[in-house]
Amino acid sequence: MKSSQKNAKTDDNKKKRPQKSKNIRVYELAKRYGMSSRELVAELREFGVPIKNHMSTLNPEMLELVEEERKSKTPKLHAPTDKVPIAAETARDTTPTVEEKEHKSAPEQVEDTPSVPQVQEGTTVGQLGKILGFKGTEMIMKLMKMGIMANINQRLDYDTLQEISNQFKFEVVHKPTLEEKILTDEPDSPQDLVPRSPVVTIMGHVNHGKTSLLDAIRESNVMDTEAGNITQHIGAYHVELENGDVVFLDTPGHAAFTAMRARGAQVTDLVVLVVAADDGVMPQTVEAINHAKAANVPIVVAINKIDVDGARIDYVKQRLAEHDLVPEEWGGQTVFVEISAKERIRVEFLLEMLLLEAELLELKANPNKLARGTIIEAELDKGRGTVATVLVQDGTLKVGDPFIAGRYSGKVRAMINELGQRTREVGPSIPVEVLGFTGIPQAGDRFYALHSERDAKAISDSRQAEHRQARLGPNSHVNLDDLFDHIREGDIKELNVIVKCDVHGSVQAVCDSLRKLSTDEVKINMIHQAVGGITETDILLASASDAIVVGFNVRPTTEAMRAAEFEGIDVRTYSVIYDLISDIHSAMEGLLDPEVREVVIGRAVVRELFKVPRMGTAAGSYVNWGRIVSHQHVRLLRDNRLVYEGRVDSLRRFKNDVSQVQANYECGIGIEGFADFKIDDVLECYTYENIPRKLK
């Protein structure tokens, strides 16, 4: 039995994967049909079913095709499908889920309707065939001609059905998922809406004074609140002013802002861009501007450090104007406030301006419903379990409310505000620490309070399953490898690109050339361009904006490499501009057909230098990721910039030559033709891998 099972497996044709259950052997099927195995084998071969003998196995998909073929061949010999216990019952799991029941009823509704048939989202190819009056095989063929490859049991999503409906007239009916049923709100009626406070993120170049400004604001607030209260760091805090409150996200910088946006959360209503008057527009200033623009969030400029001697306020304004941030006095629309965070000059005024700016946004929320919000930060606390700061954005959160956030459900056990006080109810635009999670959600995950714990659990289960699936399946971000297919299908009209280069001149050159590649079908958008290595923030921005990242003479940091893998971002690096442009051009034309692809296998960091007789200089290094392999390709990076490319010439551990060194070990590395190592240089070992050609 065992060996025949094995045989049967290999017999299954290579194109179709055998299904887990409900396979049937040819001889068993022959019995059902009341014919000899030999007759059935002959018949199946005639149908083109790839079987070897009577012990071969048919999977449900094949079975359904056979069933269709037999029906059309000898219609009178067969009862209607639903009476034959093969196609309908054997081919499927025995107990239909609620979903399947719903689908089964779909054709019936349709048969009664003489006008355009209705087809539910999620209908299988087979069911669609039935509705449209095609046999399963015919339906598969017709879809194939439209460029849709699907097997008989495959469910068709809304967009695909829409596309098919252009050719075969039917109406696609959207089927709400459990989440949609539970998590979709009725729109609020205007009288239920009340104004809510703006949520502000402070961004800007390092050392321009973001932290100082947050401190100055918090301090001004503490003095106003009751004496003795010390604010706790919970990721956000709110400031009470005469004309209203302002909420600040307490993690300055871009990573948090972009990480949230990468999860689809728009938390920030306003960005305060801090620019030091003595330093001006710097790379992270530009990055912040680009991030805020990409998120469509208005910017208020705070020119900081006006107290220092070298302050050049007008000069800074001019530089900012080049990025479309033009002060009102110059006829622009951007609010500029000249401050000193350190000397507490005009900090209060900045807050007032934020309130004014927020007024224009007419921010409103309905406090009288279940809470909706976003996770600002979350961690595992030794004593308290998972603690997450939730910014409630709509509705009111109460102790005891069941909830779902990201993949985890829970029930609010306790809430603690920024002053460390327990609280029972929290309304819109208020950050609060929440206890009662079953797992650690991610910053940016949406938070929903629900009526029922069971619903929360059900959504959590389905998200967990989806998460597992997504980790196995291909990522959903734009990728040069299948760019052309998406352009052809009309899914992609714009290609978002983040460009990082070693020097300013290259940035210009690369961006200019890329812009020229835009065609009528695809426009190339530079989301962000800058000098420097590819960082984790670049990857998060790419994830949030669905962009690819290209680097010229720069490489990703190790964190960025990990993030790119996790987020599924296509990162391409080049040392010849022509190659970069040519790759993107080819990808747009569908001509990119790499047979080999570079794969980074490890990284090491140089810790000391030593002279080796007859060899020159070797780098005493620590492998911090992957492994270093002797004679493989290696490149030397300094500040994430490419310095040299060559081969691993010698690889040693304790004076012994070794063929490879794994992560967390030290070793001596020599590079062919290179001796100019410096401490902290990164050695990146890589190889080339053959890419199996995809069948189209």
* Beta carbons of 682 and 605 less than 8 angstroms apart: yes
Closer residue to ligand GDP, CB minimum distance, 212 or 640: 212
Provide the β-strand partners of residue 603: 625, 684
Decide whether 288 or 561 has the Cβ nearer to ligand GDP. 288
Of these, 70, 263, 305, 346, which contacts ligand GDP (CB under 6 A)?
305
Rounded CA-CA distance 480/549 in Å is 10
Cα gap 177→459, rounded to integer Å? 10
Among 125, 89, 127, smallest CA distance to 110 is for 127
Question: DSSP labels for 22-61?
Answer: --EEHHHHHHHHTS-HHHHHHHHHHHT----STT-EE-HH
Is the torsion defined by CA of 63, 65, 67, 70 positive or negative?
negative
Q: Kindly state the smallest distance separating residue 304's Cβ from ligand GDP, in Å.
A: 5
**Per CB under 6 A, which region of 32-40, 93-101, 300-308, 620-628 contacts ligand GDP?**
300-308
Nearer Cβ to ligand GDP (23/340): 340
Tokens of 624: 């911090």
Q: How far is the CB of 216 from ligand GDP (least distance, A)?
A: 8
Pairing, β 656-657 against β 299-304: unpaired
207 interacts with ligand GDP by CB under 6 A: yes
Q: Of these, 201, 212, 268, 545, which contacts ligand GDP (CB under 6 A)? A: 212
Question: Strand runs (DSSP E) across 250-367, as ranges?
Answer: 270-276, 299-304, 335-338, 364-365
Of these, 130, 196, 208, 641, which contacts ligand GDP (CB under 6 A)?
208
Chain centroid offset of residue 618 CA: 41
Backbone angles phi, psi at 463, to 5 degrees: -70, -35
**Under rule CB under 6 A, residue 341 binds ligand GDP:** yes
Residue 235 has φ and ψ, to the nearest 5°, of 95, -10
Backbone angles phi, psi at 608, to 5 degrees: -155, 160
Q: What is the DSSP letter of 193?
A: -
Residue 304 within binding range of ligand GDP, rule CB under 6 A: yes
Using alpha carbons only, give the angle 82, 88, 93 rounded to the nearest 5 degrees. 145
Positive or negative, the CA dihedral 466, 467, 468, 472 is positive
Structure tokens at 209: 């004074």
Closest approach, Cβ 177 to ligand GDP, in A, equals: 42
**Closest CB to ligand GDP among 342 and 477?**
342
Query: Interface with ligand GDP includes 251 (CB under 6 A)?
Result: no
Check binding of 348 to ligand GDP (CB under 6 A): no
Q: Report the distance separating Cα 665 and Cα 634, nearest Å.
A: 18
Positions 186 through 205 that interact with ligand GDP (CB under 6 A): 204
Query: Nearer to ligand GDP by C-beta: 68 or 279?
Result: 279
Interaction of residue 470 with ligand GDP, rule CB under 6 A: no
Q: Which stretch binds ligand GDP (CB under 6 A): 288-296, 304-312, 348-356, 629-637?
A: 304-312
If binding means CB under 6 A, how many residues of this protein chain bind ligand GDP?
17
Question: Does residue 311 belong to the site contacting ligand GDP (CB under 6 A)?
Answer: no
Nearer to ligand GDP, 210 or 641 (CB): 210
Residue 340 is a binding residue for ligand GDP (CB under 6 A): yes
Nearer to ligand GDP, 312 or 627 (CB): 312
342 binds ligand GDP (CB under 6 A): yes
Which of 60, 198, 209, 373 is the binder for ligand GDP (CB under 6 A)? Answer: 209
**Single residue of 28, 163, 307, 352 touching ligand GDP by CB under 6 A:** 307
Q: With respect to ligand GDP, which residue has the nearer C-beta, 209 or 436?
A: 209
Q: How far is the CB of 302 from ligand GDP (least distance, A)?
A: 10
Among residue numbers 363 through 382, which ones bind ligand GDP (CB under 6 A)? Answer: none
Which sign, positive or negative, has the C-alpha torsion 549, 267, 445, 457? negative
Rank residues 143 and 274 by Cβ distance to ligand GDP and give the closer one.
Answer: 274
**Mask: binding to ligand GDP, 260-299, rule CB under 6 A, as x and -?**
----------------------------------------
Decide: is 537 part of the binding site for ligand GDP (CB under 6 A): no
Q: Which of 330, 347, 328 is nearest to 338 (CA)?
A: 347
Residue 255 beta carbon to ligand GDP: minimum distance, rounded to whole angstroms:
13
Q: Are 394 and 366 in contact (CB under 8 A)?
A: yes
* Residue 211 engages ligand GDP in binding (rule: CB under 6 A): yes
What lies within 8 Å, CB to CB, of 184 at 6+ separation is 176
- Select 303 or 416, whichever has its Cβ closest to ligand GDP: 303
Stretch that binds ligand GDP, among 76-84, 334-342, 382-390, 576-584 (CB under 6 A): 334-342
Residue closer to ligand GDP by CB (options 209, 532) is 209
Furthest CA-CA distance within the chain? 99
Closest distance of CB 339 from ligand GDP, Å: 7
Residues 123, 110 contacting (CB under 8 angstroms): no
Provide the minimum distance between the beta carbon of 274 and ligand GDP in the complex, in angstroms, as a whole number: 6
The end-to-end CA distance of the chain, in Å, is 37
CB nearer to ligand GDP: give 207 or 423: 207
CA distance 554 to 577: 12
Q: Which residues are 345's β-sheet partners?
A: 340
Q: Are 478 and 546 in contact (CB under 8 A)?
A: yes
The answer to whether 610 and 617 are in contact (CB under 8 A) is: yes
When the beta carbons of 211 and 586 are compared against ligand GDP, the nearer one is 211
Closest contact distance (angstroms) between CB of 282 and ligand GDP is 11
Q: Which two tokens stand for residue 362?
A: 């007419």
β-pairing verdict for 364-365 and 372-381: unpaired
- CA atoms in the 13 A half-sphere facing the CB of 561: 16
**C-alpha to C-alpha distances, 584 to 361, 480, 486, 489, 507, nearest whole angstrom:** 39, 7, 14, 18, 16
CB nearer to ligand GDP: give 206 or 380: 206
Residue closer to ligand GDP by CB (options 342, 633) is 342
**Least Cβ distance, residue 340 to ligand GDP (angstroms):** 4
Which of the ranges 75-83, 86-94, 112-120, 337-345 carries the binding residues for ligand GDP, by CB under 6 A?
A: 337-345
Binder of ligand GDP out of 183, 282, 308, 458 (CB under 6 A):
308
CB count within 10 Å of CB 606 equals: 20
CB 399 within 8 A of CB 426: no
Smallest distance, Å, CB 215 to ligand GDP? Answer: 7
Least Å distance between CB 323 and ligand GDP?
Answer: 18
**Which strands form 523-531's sheet, in the order they lie side by side?**
523-531, 494-501, 547-552, 571-574
Q: Interface with ligand GDP by CB under 6 A: which range of 23-31, 335-343, 529-537, 587-595? A: 335-343
Q: List contacts with ligand GDP (CB under 6 A).
A: 204, 206-212, 252, 304-305, 307-308, 340-343
